[in-house]
């Protein structure tokens, strides 16, 4: 029996200015998957830890097992026996790319066990299908950074065209997950479907500037580009005291602040770990004042995507 334990990172989609086109990965939190090749055919979930019973154990409905099944079909090995144990190490439905992290951990695990026959673009396509199962739509801005690591741009969804951007080493992410619930579907439903041309132009300017800021490692340019006139004004209402929280984050030295994915998690980018730590503490304190519990994370940007925690690589096969 072979087994492998894989970590895959949480991700911050949108990065304020880049709705559906920008995202980055963090080193903490993240999910872990233990995947075992077993004798009896079929993919099954042995256990899920840390989800509070929220996630389905039915292998067809769970994204991790669903993508592993899809992987086995595509690689011509549908009868392979696989047992999955999932360790959720971040809140579900939090806007941190929770399902993408599990999906990528599972895919990376099975691909490693099989000797890496599929490349990143093929894995990405399978992972997007998994996301479609989990939230009705495949969001490459979570799965792509979880797989590639670093800052990622989705140039196009059809055909899928994903670009790994330059990722400055010094940037640190402050993440806070308030204990309130927003459904991704609801968060998308309230978004306006027609955008004034002038707002489209502003948003294009900010996305271009964010990309330039990353390549130039220009913190002030990154900071100026973290503005959103098309989505945030609508979604901010879902997070109590959003604009006060932003003010606090910027006062504490954050380069920029916004909603992580479709929320309710909020995030900030900072130029140092100390600064990110102060931002997290100040945000949690303010939320607590409003009677809202929260979890906080301070993390460097993940630059590698998933990683093997323990296990036997495919080259060790008998």
Write out the residues near a second copy by the rule CB under 8 A: 18-22, 153-156, 161, 163, 165-166, 191-197, 199-212, 215, 221, 224-225, 230
Give the integer Cα–Cα distance in Å for 269 and 276: 7
State the burial class of residue 163 (Cβ atoms within 10 Å of its Cβ: 0-12, 13-18, 19+).
middle
Kindly tell me which of 34 and 154 has the beta carbon lying closer to a second copy: 154
The SS3 call for residue 160 is strand
Kindly tell me which of 179 and 200 has the beta carbon lying closer to a second copy: 200
From the list 8, 274, 28, the residue with the least C-alpha distance to 124 is 8
Shortest Cβ distance from residue 84 to a second copy (Å)?
33
Shortest Cβ distance from residue 66 to a second copy (Å)?
26
Q: At what angle do helices 98-113 and 63-74 cross, to 10 degrees?
A: 40
From the list 162, 123, 155, 145, the residue with the least C-alpha distance to 303 is 145
Kindly tell me which of 44 and 202 has the beta carbon lying closer to a second copy: 202
Token digits of residue 183: 């459904």
Shortest Cβ distance from residue 213 to a second copy (Å)?
8
Give the integer Cα–Cα distance in Å for 303 and 61: 30
Catalytic residue positions, numbered: 131, 184
Determine contact, residues 63/51, Cβ cutoff 8 Å. Answer: no
Shortest Cβ distance from residue 187 to a second copy (Å)?
14
Kindly tell me which of 123 and 211 has the beta carbon lying closer to a second copy: 211
């Amino acid at each position: 029996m072979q087994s492998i334990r894989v970590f895959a990172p949480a991700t911050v989609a949108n990065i304020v200015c880049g709705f559906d086109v920008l995202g980055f990965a963090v080193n903490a939190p993240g999910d872990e998957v233990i995947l075992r090749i077993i004798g009896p055919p079929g993919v099954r979930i042995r256990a899920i830890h840390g989800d509070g019973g929220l996630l389905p154990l039915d292998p067809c409905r769970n994204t991790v097992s669903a993508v592993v099944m899809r992987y086995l079909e595509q690689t011509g090995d549908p009868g392979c026996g696989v047992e999955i144990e999932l360790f959720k190490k971040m809140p579900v439905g939090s806007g941190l790319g929770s399902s993408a992290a599990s999906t990528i951990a599972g895919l990376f695990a099975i691909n490693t066990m099989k000797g890496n026959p599929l490349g990143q673009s093929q894995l990405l396509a399978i992972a997007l299908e998994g996301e479609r199962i989990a939230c009705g739509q495949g969001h490459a801005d979570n799965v792509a950074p979880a797989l590639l690591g670093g800052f990622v741009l989705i140039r196009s969804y059809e055909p899928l065209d994903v670009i790994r951007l330059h990722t400055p080493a010094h940037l640190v992410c402050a993440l806070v997950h308030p204990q309130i619930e927003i459904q991704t579907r609801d968060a998308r439903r309230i978004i306006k479907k027609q955008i004034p041309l002038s707002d489209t132009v502003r948003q294009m300017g900010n996305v271009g500037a964010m990309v330039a800021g990353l390549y130039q490692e220009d913190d002030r340019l990154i900071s100026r580009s973290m503005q959103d006139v098309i989505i945030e004004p609508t979604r901010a209402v879902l997070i109590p005291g959003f604009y006060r929280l932003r003010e606090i984050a910027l006062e504490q030295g954050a380069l920029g602040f916004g909603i992580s994915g479709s929320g309710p998690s909020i995030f900030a980018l900072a130029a140092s770990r100390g600064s990110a730590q102060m931002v997290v503490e100040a945000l949690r304190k303010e939320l607590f004042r409003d009677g809202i519990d929260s979890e906080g994370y301070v993390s460097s940007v993940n630059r590698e995507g998933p990683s093997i925690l323990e296990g036997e690589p495919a080259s060790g096969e008998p």
